[in-house]
Structure formats: structure tokens, C-alpha cells
DNA sequence: AAGGCGAGCAACCGCTCGTTA
DNA sequence: ATAACGAGCGGTTGCTCGCCT
């Protein structure tokens, strides 16, 4: 993991908020060179930041696929449930929330959910559930309709996602990996496939078969297990471009159910192509 | 209009863990 | 075995912005 060959010039690192120019430099550099050694990134990208700051900025803000905006009710439920279950394991909790970062989950918990949970516990017994309405009684998520491209499964049962790179078979704690639509779809979040595509992936994705009959697409350091629903040809090729220009061409349409190594689980509806 | 205040969020800090030499 | 290093994580800080007076 170490990167001893990286140059580490001693310099006065800039701190504070990132300017658009800095964002652009970092984004451009990573897009062109990919991720390697964070400590080398600032010098190579022409930034007066330390590598740690660059990493954080990328992960929490610049990385493609991030879902900005207010948490949906389902996301809130997942956070509250997993927090009760796992404690402050924000990265693990965030892994169950496609497009959310650990920092975002942590901030949301600290600034909002924690108070609600405390309040609910304070009045324990009087109410068994914590509603999504805020203290004013209003639904505090007016953008839900627009932002709910991603709707995590209502079940907070932890997904058991094994390591594809190790060649292990993928299993989950539920039947969410079933290749049939219908009941499974009810559990599947709808997520833009492009949201999940890392910027550094190549356009040509191979689909090696796994031993459970599913397929796996690999790019960069990420592996994604791809389960096909009816009407989907598994040997179809994908293409995508970065971020807003992203496009996924999947002839025939239909749903993809995607099981991600990181623990997320989603489905992709090609009808969403128009969203790009 | 201006100042105070609090909420929300971006980013920093310090620590731990994993990897490498 | 161990020191050195980078990456990752969680806690915390401090800035910004909107609301209220």
C-alpha cells in the first residue's frame, strides 16, 4: 500500500474551502491519470493541497455517482437502523446507501437524525416509529420525487457481499439476487447505472461469468456483479462516459439488478437514459 | 438594514490499520 | 520482526447561510 517512490515536497499546504479551479484541476488530473498515490496527486495536479485533502475532496464531493441532496425516508430508516445496529460505523452505513458518503451520513446523523432519535427515545412508548416529518410537522423532503432515483431497499438486513476479486460466490442475506422480477423488484432500488460507474472505467466492459450463473463486470479497482432479468442479453456491451455526459446504451431496455461489491444493491432501468 | 444566533455542511485532525521494504 | 508510509475512518472544528429580532 505504501508509495515510497512518491515525491513529498515539503510545502505550505493550502487549507479551507476548495475553489472551482482547484476542483477542476483535481478532477482533470484524476480523469486523465486515474487514482494511484494520493500523496503524489497535489504536486502532479498542480495543487497546493496535501494528498489527504485531495482524497477527501474527491471522495466526498468530486467523485461521480454521488447523490446530493436531502435523504429520502428510506435512507433515513436505513441510517437509523444501521446506526443502532453498527454504531458510528459511518463507512459501513454509507456502503448501504448508494451515492452517499460516510461524511454525508455522519453529518446528517449528527445534525438531524440524532436529535430525532433522542427525541423519539425521550417519548418512548408514545410512538413506535420515527416519522420523516421535521419538528415543524412538515415533510422535510420536498425534493424526494426528483431525488429518489435511488431508493435503497426498505429491508435493513445487512447484505453479505463477498469479494468478487477473490473469486468467491456472491450471496446475500435475502433473495434480492433472484433473477426474477416481480417480488424482487419491490426490494430493488432504482439507480441510474451511470451513477455507479467510476470515472476511470474503460468503455469496454467484459462480463466474465461467476459460478452462480451471474456475471461480473470489472473496471479499475471495482468489480460489480450483474444479474440479468428477463429480456436482458448478458453479453451486451456497455459504454459510458464520465458524469453528466454519461450514457448507457443497452439495447432492448428492461431492468438490471446490480449487486455492488461495496454492499450497495440497485437496479437500472434503461428508460432513465433520457435523464442524461 | 444590521447584528445575533443556530443549523448544516465542508474540511481538518488525529488515530488506527494494512502494506511494503 | 519492525519501522515507515499511505489510506481510511471517525471526531471535531469552523465557515457559510438563512432566519429571527
Class of CATH domain A20-62: mainly alpha
CA of A46 to C1' of B20 (A): 28
pLDDT > 70: percent of chain A: 38
Strand C reaches within 7 A of the A92 CB: yes
Whether A50 has a pLDDT exceeding 50, the answer reads yes
Q: Taking the alpha carbons of A176, A181, A182, A187 in that order, is the dihedral positive or negative? A: positive
Query: Which three cell numbers, joined as nine digits, stand for A137?
Result: 410537522
> What pLDDT was estimated at residue A124?
56
> What pLDDT was estimated at residue A254?
30
The distance in angstroms from the start CA to the end CA of chain A is 37
What pLDDT band is residue A11 in, cutting at 50, 70 and 90? low
Q: Closest by alpha carbon to A151, among A76, A93, A208?
A: A76
Residue pLDDT, tens place only, A257-272: 232 322 222 323 222 2
Whether A129 has a pLDDT exceeding 80, the answer reads no
Q: How many residues does chain A have?
A: 276
List protein-proximal bases of chain C (any atom < 7 A from a CB): 4-12, 15-16
Which nucleotide's C1' sits nearest to the alpha carbon of A50? Answer: B12
Strand C reaches within 7 A of the A252 CB: no
Q: What residues does CATH 1.10.10 cover in chain A?
A: 20-62
> What pLDDT was estimated at residue A215?
33
> What pLDDT was estimated at residue A31?
78
CA of A124 to C1' of C6 (A): 46
A233 or A103: whose pLDDT is higher?
A103
List protein-proximal bases of chain B (any atom < 7 A from a CB): 7-14, 18-21
Amino acid at each position: 500500500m505504501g508509495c515510497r517512490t512518491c515525491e513529498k515536497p515539503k510545502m505550505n499546504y493550502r487549507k479551507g474551502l476548495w475553489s472551482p479551479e482547484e476542483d477542476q484541476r483535481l478532477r482533470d488530473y484524476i480523469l486523465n491519470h486515474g487514482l494511484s498515490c494520493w500523496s503524489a496527486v497535489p504536486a502532479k495536479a498542480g495543487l497546493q493541497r496535501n494528498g489527504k485533502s485531495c482524497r477527501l475532496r474527491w471522495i466526498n464531493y468530486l467523485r461521480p455517482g454521488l447523490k446530493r441532496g436531502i435523504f429520502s425516508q428510506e435512507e433515513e430508516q436505513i441510517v437509523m437502523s444501521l446506526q443502532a445496529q453498527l454504531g458510528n460505523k459511518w463507512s459501513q452505513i454509507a456502503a448501504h446507501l448508494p451515492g452517499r458518503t460516510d461524511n454525508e451520513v455522519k453529518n446528517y446523523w449528527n445534525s438531524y437524525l440524532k436529535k430525532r432519535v433522542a427525541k423519539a427515545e425521550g417519548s418512548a412508548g408514545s410512538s413506535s416509529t420515527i416519522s420523516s416529518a421535521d419538528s415543524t410537522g412538515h415533510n422535510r423532503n420536498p425534493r424526494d420525487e426528483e431525488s429518489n432515483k435511488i431508493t435503497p431497499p426498505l429491508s435493513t438486513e445487512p447484505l453479505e457481499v463477498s469479494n468478487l476479486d477473490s473469486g468467491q460466490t456472491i450471496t446475500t442475506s435475502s433473495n434480492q439476487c433472484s433473477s426474477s422480477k416481480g417480488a424482487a423488484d419491490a426490494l430493488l432500488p432504482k439507480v441510474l447505472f451511470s451513477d455507479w460507474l467510476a470515472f476511470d472505467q474503460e468503455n469496454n466492459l467484459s462480463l466474465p461469468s461467476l459460478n452462480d450463473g451471474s456475471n461480473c463486470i470489472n473496471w479499475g479497482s471495482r468489480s460489480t456483479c450483474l444479474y440479468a432479468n428477463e429480456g436482458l442479453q448478458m453479453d451486451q456491451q456497455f459504454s459510458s462516459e464520465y458524469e453528466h455526459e454519461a450514457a448507457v446504451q443497452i439495447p432492448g431496455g428492461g431492468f438490471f439488478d446490480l449487486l455492488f461489491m461495496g454492499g450497495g444493491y440497485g437496479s437500472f432501468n434503461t428508460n432513465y437514459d433520457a435523464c442524461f
